[in-house]
Amino acid sequence: MKYLTIDRQLFIKNRTLFNAKIKGNDLAIFNANDIMPTNADGTMPFRQNNDLFWLSGVDQEESVLVLFPNHPDENMREVLFLKETNEHIAIWEGAKLTKEGAYNTSGIKTVFWLSELEGKLNDLISKADGVYLNKNIHSRSASEVQTRDDRFRLMIESKFSTTEIKEVAPIMHELRAIKSDTEIALMQNACNITEKGLRRILPFIKPGVMEYEIEAELMHEFLRNRSNGFAYQPIIGSGIDSCVLHYIENNKACKDGDILLMDFGAEYANYASDLTRTIPVNGKFSKRQKSVYNSVLHVMKEATKMLAPGTKFKEYNAEIGRIMELELIKLGLLDKHDVQKQDPKNPLFKRYFMHGTSHYLGLDVHDVGSMDWPMQEGMVFTCEPGIYILEEELGIRLENDILVTANGPDDLMKNIPIEIEEIEGLMNN
């Protein structure tokens, strides 16, 4: 991995938190993600299952983690199964984790090779009352791909038909939603790398520059700072495509007078950052661009203040909608009388601001956690209001990553330029 070694105490503490949630004589099993094929003998880059990583720090394919907090033999309460290195694998793929290396990474003392899984699993499950299995239970999940966890579940249901199967996702969502100090430091590093990327491209952007050239400059900066690259597919949309929420083609020339919306973030140690900045291609905001920009920035600043312990998302979103309405009226996009008569279930501001303002951030870009929970200290959210005026080919969104603390919101991107004067100054320096 490109990232620096993470102190195994993080994963030891995470397992302690998880094990405290397992009641009675149950065990939990976590599988690594698949290595996904392309065609012929090609494969996509491997990305570890985030739950397994959070609990172990193991970033290797074909790994299995078993947690059995109340097993009578304390040596079997935390068990890792790993792919064993041989001479062939070492030559063709590079050496895999040794048992000692796995312990140094995770703090787990009991490590077996994957070839021993079937026999050990039979013994472990025979001593358990129930088995917690993993599944991608996420409000925005729409994948139809059968995962390693899915196939493992089918095997358990067939082979151990009398064993009660329980869902581990609710526990993991609750635990992962609250970031530890170590996790926050890793996310801060991801944000710092993202800042370096933005500062690199601002003086680079000129009329005639291709959107993909900007993407390339960002990737260069990310990789040279130990990031694996983008935390998600970057959005580099100029002109009318600044109004396309998930524009990812990034294949046009940036034109003089256009606005350029850039939504990107570096990943570091599997943790995501998520930034949006909107800039003038020619380095100078027009009067209209400046007005819309300042409205979005105002909404963002007001929304950030509300990211505090105890805030409920329903109330948060309602207040942001009210603030946005006032800004849209000021910009001449909404009529105050029409707003007064609007259907509360279909507010008029949605015509120009049609997405949510915040989502959880962590190992996943849209990280696990419920919008029904009040905000808590240690949660990290994006704050990303936007105004999209299709008829003017003008879309402006701004986004920073915010840590909820007892002392108020902590902006992990507070050092990243966002004021108009800063942006113009860096572009014309």
Catalytic residues: 41, 246, 263, 274, 355, 359, 366, 384, 388, 397, 399
Residues 6+ positions from 424 with CB-CB distance below 8 Å: 280, 283, 284, 285
Residue 299: count of CB within 10 angstroms of its CB: 24
DSSP string, 41-97: T-BPPP---HHHHHHH----TT-EEEE-TT-SSGGGSEEEEEPPP-HHHHHHT----
CA distances from 395 to 99, 355, 425 (A): 52, 13, 21
Residues 6+ positions from 127 with CB-CB distance below 8 Å: 25, 68, 71, 72
Rounded distance, CA 211 to CA 254, Å?
7
Q: Which residue has the tokens 């419920």?
A: 370
* Contact present, 340 and 349 (Cβ < 8 Å): no
6 φ, ψ (degrees, to nearest 5) = -95, 135
Q: Which residue has the tokens 């109004």?
A: 243
